[in-house]
Amino acid sequence: MALEKLASDCKEGPCPTLWRTEHGRYIVQGFKVLSAERLAQLDLPENETAVEVMAELLEGYFNSPRG
């Protein structure tokens, strides 16, 4: 059940990171969204949460050639 690290914004320590699971899903590690106003706009169910990452993290991964 190991996660595959796909992209990260730093070389050391915890930071926003994109992971892939063995089930073909993605996990995004980022900054907790704490703004009540933003969370209200998302209308999240209790079993979900939201994180914020820099656009470069996702764009860099999904726009890069992968073999």
DSSP code string of 11-42 = SSSS--EEEE-TTS-EEEE-EE---HHHHHHH
Asked if 7 contacts 56 with a C-beta cutoff of 8 angstroms, the reply is no
Total residue count of the chain as it appears in this document = 67
Tell me, what's the pLDDT at 1?
75
Tell me, what's the pLDDT at 27?
93
Tell me, what's the pLDDT at 49?
93
* Distance in angstroms (rounded) separating the CA atoms of residues 36 and 41: 9
In tens, the pLDDT along 9-40 reads 777 778 899 999 999 899 999 999 999 999 99
Domain map of the chain by residue range?
4-62
Tell me, what's the pLDDT at 37?
94
